[in-house]
Amino acid sequence: MAMEINVSEMRRVRLFEVMGRVDSTNATELGSTLDKAADDGNNNLVLDLSGVEYMSSAGLREMVRILKRVKRNGGDLRIANPSERVKEVLELAGLDSIFEIYPTQVEAVGSF
C-alpha cells in the first residue's frame, strides 16, 4: 500500500492520519501536506501514525523539518499512536525526546 493522508480540521488542531508506507518516494508529499497547514497559519499539528506500516529516515527527516518550522511559529507537531516498529526507530534517532508522543489520537488532539 502506498501512502495516504486524511486531513481533518479540528477546533485548535489540524489532524493528519497517515496510512501505508512513508519512504523516500513519498516523504516529500507528507512534508508538503504539513507545510500547507503551516502556510495557512495552522501550527498545531497532530500526526496519527497508527496506520503507518513502514517509515524510513526520509519520513523522519520531513517530520523534523516541519517540527522546527511550527515551533518557530509557536506551534507544535505531536505524534499519536505510532506502531512498535516506528516507535523503535523514533527512539533510535533520539526523536522520542523531541516529539511529544501520545498513545491515542484523542489524547494528542486534546493536548493542545
Interface with another protein (CB under 8 A):
21, 23-25, 54, 56-58, 60-62, 64-65, 67-68, 71, 84-85, 88-89, 92-95, 98
Which amino acid is residue 108, in one-letter code? A
Task: Name the residue nearer to another protein (CB basis): 19 or 98.
Answer: 98
| 3-class DSSP assignment, residue 87 | helix
As measured in angstroms, the least distance from the Cβ of 63 to another protein is: 8
- Cell numbers for 93: 534517532
As measured in angstroms, the least distance from the Cβ of 44 to another protein is: 17
| 3-class DSSP assignment, residue 68 | helix
Task: Name the residue nearer to another protein (CB basis): 48 or 62.
Answer: 62
**Are the beta carbons of 23 and 58 closer than 8 angstroms?**
yes
